[in-house]
Chains A and B, each alone.
Chain A
């Protein structure tokens, strides 16, 4: 079945440490890929997106993500986490010929000082 998997429900990192949030998808063709962030009580904000071309994409707030076709992955990274990055992060996929985003279950990021 087509799906988006974020294997980590919770991740805790120290402020200043690097971060990687995992996302895997299972779609036949290469879908369009997105990462969103949700702060408590808020809606979702787009961090970055991948459609084609360079497999390393840069987003807002110092985030980047790398598309790896062989692994069906689109992991989100940040070299140095700030306390304000604490939030929930969602990977999302727009399947080829699809008309709606499919979201992963989300990863809650906690930042400790």
Chain B
């Protein structure tokens, strides 16, 4: 009865390196959302994906950030050339198909805490 699995739990990168965050949704869920959490700012929406499709990326920074949710395997949030301002907790959530949150609440993972040194 696995929930949303995110790995790694903690990730340390030097400025300029790449960070790859992984999210395996709840079995049977085909919708994935990525959120970023900064201290005292709550969770900020980044991107909403379905299998092989980006549905809404209005919260994604225009450069260096990308996300995918392939037909097979986990969803990946990729941050290229990280900077100190990318340090945050990144949360993935998943839901069942068809309705999103109002018919199928989001299930959240425990997050990946990225630290850029």
Chain A residues within CB distance 8 Å of chain B = 6, 9, 32, 34, 36, 41-46, 49, 51, 90, 94, 99-106
Contact = CB atoms under 8 A, between A and B. Distances in A.
A46 B42 contact: no
Q: Is the interface of B mostly helix, strand, loop or mixed?
A: mixed
Contacts, number: 58
B43 A99 contact: no
Contacts of B108: 36, 43-45
Interface of B: 4, 33, 35, 40-45, 48, 55-56, 59, 91, 93, 100-102, 105-106, 108-111
B109 A101 contact: no
A94 B40 contact: no
Contact of A99 (B44, B55, B109): B55
Contacts of A9: 40
A100 B48 contact: yes
Nearest to A101: B101
A105 B41 contact: yes
B111 A103 contact: no
Contacts of B91: 43-44
A44 B91 CA distance: 9
Given A9-B40, A99-B55, A105-B42, A32 B101 contact: yes
